[in-house]
Amino acid sequence: MNLINNSKTIDSNTSLFGLLGNPVSHSLGHLIHNQAFFEKNINALYLPFKITNIKKGIQAIKELGIKGVSITIPFKQSVIPYLDEIDDLALKIGAVNTIINKKGKLYGYNTDCNGAIKSLKKISTIKDKKICIIGAGGAARAIAFGIKKENGKILIVNRTREKGEILANQIKGELISILDIKTKSPDIIINTTSIGMTPDIYQTPLKKDFLSKKMVVMDIVYNPLHTRFLKNAAKKGCTIINGLSMFVNQGAAQFELFTGIKAPVDLMKKIVFTTVFKSRIMKTCKNV
C-alpha cells in the first residue's frame, strides 16, 4: 500500500503519531492508522520508530509535539515512570501500549486487555476455564488481568521464573513449567510472546506434543496470521485464534483515543488481512 498516494498532503498542520518499539519492522500499525486517517479525512500521519532507549523516546514525543504513540515490545512496562498520568486499567495491569500527548502532558492507556478478551470471547467462554498464558511481559499482563476479571483460572509459563512469579502472584494464578502443561491440561493456551513472529516464522513457543484436540489455542502474533504454533495446533484438531482480531481491536481503540472518532474497524481488518496474505503469496512465489 502506497502511503503517500493514500494520504492527504503533508503540511505544517499535519498531526504526527507513531509507534515506539524494538523491533518495529513487523508492525502493520502504520498501514491501519494512516488508511483510517485518510478514510476519516484527518490530516495526520503515523510512523514507526525503532528506538533503543525509552526515556529518549519519551523526550522526543514532547520535543517534536507528537500527538500520540503506540508502545510495543519491549517498552510497555518500562515506559510507565516517564508518564504524567496513567489510566486506572493500565495502572492495574502495569503495562501501557498507548500514550496521548495533551499539551505536553503524557497520558498512558492500555488497549491490549479489552482487545484480547473481546477476541477470545468470540470463540470461547472464559469463566472457570483453565487458561495457560505463555509469557509474562506487557501483553501477557494485559491478557491475564482481563481473564482474571472474567473469572478464568490462570496458569503462567515464562522463561524467567522470577518475572513469571510476580505476575502469577498479582493475578492469583499459578506459575508452572512447560512440562507441567500436559498434566494441568488447560482448556485454552495463549502465546503472548513474539516467538514465531516475522522474520522468525519457523519458531514456536510450544511443541505440538503438548497440544490436544479439545484445546483452544490463541497466538497474539498477527504477522504471519498463521504462525507455526497455530499450524501445529490446527493439525492437532484444536480451535485456533490468530492475532488479527486482537491487533485490530486494540488498534481501533488506539485510533479512538488518538482522534476521538469511531474507528473504521472493518477497513482496518481488511488492510491487515490483505497485506499479510499478499506478503505470504509473494514469499511463496519467490520459493517456487
Q: Per the residue annotation, which of 50, 55, 76, 149 is the catalytic one?
A: 76
In Å, what is the CA distance from 68 to each residue of 15, 56, 102, 119, 149?
9, 15, 9, 25, 28
Residue 87 belongs to some domain of the structure: yes
pLDDT at 9: 74
Looking at the structure, do residues 167 and 123 belong to the same domain, yes or no? yes
pLDDT at 8: 56
Looking at the structure, do residues 102 and 25 belong to the same domain, yes or no? yes
**Run means of pLDDT, 10 residues per run, the chain, 288 residues:** 50 95 92 96 96 98 97 95 97 96 97 96 97 96 97 97 96 96 96 94 95 97 94 97 95 98 96 76 39
What is the rounded distance in angstroms from the CA atom of residue 34 to the CA atom of residue 48? 11
Residue 105 annotated in active site? no
Looking at the structure, do residues 179 and 221 belong to the same domain, yes or no? yes
- Nearest-10 Cα torsion for 135, 141, 145, 151: 0
Determine the distance from the C-alpha atom of residue 165 to the mean position of all C-alpha atoms in its chain, rounded to a whole number.
22
- Amino acid letter, 124: S
Residue 45 structural domain: 15-110+246-287
φ, ψ (nearest 5 deg) of residue 97? -120, 0
Provide the number of structural domains found in the chain: 2
- Amino acid letter, 73: I
- Whose cell is 513457543? That residue is 205
pLDDT at 254: 98
pLDDT at 276: 78
- CATH for 162: 3.40.50.720
Looking at the structure, do residues 254 and 191 belong to the same domain, yes or no? no
Residue 93 belongs to some domain of the structure: yes
Three-state DSSP string of 58-90: HHHHHHHCCCEEEECCCCCCCCHHHCCEECHHH
Looking at the structure, do residues 197 and 262 belong to the same domain, yes or no? no
- Amino acid letter, 20: L
Looking at the structure, do residues 238 and 258 belong to the same domain, yes or no? no
